[in-house]
Structure 1
Amino acid sequence: MAEQKMIEVPFQQWVNDKELWVQLNDLMMQESKLPGPRVNLELSDHFAKQFAHPNLTDTGWELLVSWTDITEAEAGVNDPREFLPFCAVRALGAYYSYAGEEQQVVIQNSIKTAMNDSRWRVREASAMALQSIGEDDFTLLRQLIDMWEKGANRLEQRAFVAALAHPPLLKKKENTLYCLQLAAGIMESIDGGGAQHEDAEHFRVLSKGLEYSLSVFVANEPEEGFVMLERFAKSRDARILKIVKSNLGKSRLSKKYAAQVAEILKEFDKIR
């Protein structure tokens, strides 16, 4: 099937004219592909890129803030209107490195709120917003995560690892080593029993994120990465073992690093 051609939208004109906001809202919802299994990522990419510059007007800022304020009660999962906060959070991430200090604080709060949203797509938007920040300046992203890491809940931890498991962010070794260190800290908090009395759904969301993200980090820095996986493969916590085994099964590791994977899998045989 041929790819659908991206619709031509004069975003800058519509965003900066309040009289056209209704028209913009209607078009975004109509083209959202919601309800449905896959939101219109191409359109959200295009929309977010409109804000990757330092010249955001007060009107444009007001639009984004108003969209991020749309709650689940107003637009639940799979409602076409859910596409508006999804796009707004992504756009705020694209603008973050250009924003002034006061606006950055607002964006930080919006992204952190999105991390904890009950709607999975809005949570995904928070991770994608962090990716945009990291692509502009990994130091900025690291500062944010370092600020939030202490005391972060499971949904916030999931946003961190999902954001960092993004190949464009891992081109420098120091970036990947940071990701491995952060992931190891999260794994340690689980291994210590910290998740046992928490919300089961929130832990499930984090676990799903860890079950693939570690393999992305390890594939970029296999020497340090496999040392980490081997350490956690010796855990007696079933949750940790599930995460490790899932990552070892990812083709990015199992095909290129078959010997290292096989060696770590021996640890699982010892447990039986």
Structure 2
Amino acid sequence: MSTSQVLQSELRELDPQRWPEFLTARSGLPGPRANLTLVDAAARIADPPAIEALLVDGAEYPMMCAAAAIARRAAEPASAAQARTLATDERWRVREGVVIGLQLLGDESPDALIATVRAWADDPDLYVERAATAAICEPRLLRSAAAAAAALDICRRTTRHLTALPRERRSEPAARNLRQALGYCWSIAIAADPEPGLAAFRELSSEDPDVAWIVKENLRKKRLSSII
């Protein structure tokens, strides 16, 4: 069995009320990196009682796991709304949990992920836009023409929203977070379908300093070296 499957088996044996303690003890925190394999395992098998126990606990790592579990269920309207709220959490690991969960949703139901990120790409909160961008721009999810087209569309739309902001708002945390994601997501979308991807990328205006930064960062990615 894989490490994730072993962890899933251990979690299944626990009462949901014991999940927060179990997850926190094995979180890898405090430390430079959280245990993402455990987040994956928890998100795959968490049922409503376990999710509720994690939300009630409220600590960062249990909340990250809850966010991933909820986002994995985003095909359901209530879970999508809850995941959208968690995507705006002040803690970056909780926000990242939403991205992880959406990508798990994409593994199981590509159409559901595409529908979710298309809806989120025009959200007024840039943290939600960032979650949509980072979720769809994952190489393993971009093996179909529909998914590749969605990734390119999300990059184009969220870049447009970023550049529509007044310059004084560009330094806000959510704007910086979205810009950082676009600094690598464009290259992933391009690599998935180079011809339309490059055409859209070349249309970006380098006159805007944030777009110029996004272009420069993507051009540095090795995945583009054999394409451009």
Tell me the TM-score normalised to structure 1 length.
Answer: 0.75
Would you say 1:34 and 2:12 are equivalent positions?
no
1:44–1:155 Cα change, 3 Å: same
Q: What amino acid does structure 2 have at the position aligned with 1:149?
A: A
The counterpart of 1:61, out of the listed 39, 48, 52, is 48
Q: What amino acid does structure 2 have at the position aligned with 1:138?
A: P
Map 1:156-235 → 2, pairs under 5 A: 156-194=128-166, 196-197=168-169, 200-232=172-204, 234-235=205-206
Query: Larger radius of gyration, structure 1 or 2?
Result: 1
The counterpart of 1:241, out of the listed 196, 212, 216, is 212
Map 1:1-272 → 2, pairs under 5 A: 10-14=10-14, 17=15, 21-22=17-18, 24-51=19-46, 60-71=47-58, 75=59, 82-96=60-74, 104-194=76-166, 196-197=168-169, 200-232=172-204, 234-254=205-225, 256-257=226-227, 260=228
Q: What amino acid does structure 2 have at the position aligned with 1:49?
A: R
Q: What amino acid does structure 2 have at the position aligned with 1:205?
A: N
1:174–1:119 Cα change, 3 Å: same
Sequence identity percentage = 26
Structure 2, unmatched stretches of 5+, are none
Structure 1, unmatched stretches of 5+, are 52-59, 76-81, 98-103, 261-272
Shift of 1:198: 5.7
Shift of 1:144: 1.9
1:186–1:95 Cα change, 3 Å: closer
Shift of 1:70: 4.6
1:164–1:8 Cα change, 3 Å: closer
SS of residue in 2 equivalent to 1:236: coil
Shift of 1:92: 2.5
Shift of 1:110: 2.2
- Tell me, yes or no, if the aligned pair for 1:195 and 1:203 is still in contact at 8 Å: no
RMSD between superposed Cα atoms in Å: 2.3
- Tell me, yes or no, if the aligned pair for 1:191 and 1:235 is still in contact at 8 Å: no
Shift of 1:69: 4.7
Q: Whole-Å Cα distance in 2 between the matches of residues 238 and 150 of structure 1?
A: 22
SS of residue in 1 equivalent to 2:84: helix
Shift of 1:190: 2.7
1:63–1:228 Cα change, 3 Å: same
- Tell me, yes or no, if the aligned pair for 1:68 and 1:110 is still in contact at 8 Å: no
1:177–1:48 Cα change, 3 Å: same
- Tell me, yes or no, if the aligned pair for 1:127 and 1:162 is still in contact at 8 Å: yes
Name whichever of 206-215 and 180-189 sits farther off: 180-189
Q: Deviations over 1:185-220 (max 9, x none)?
A: 121223334564366111111111000011001011
Shift of 1:151: 3.4
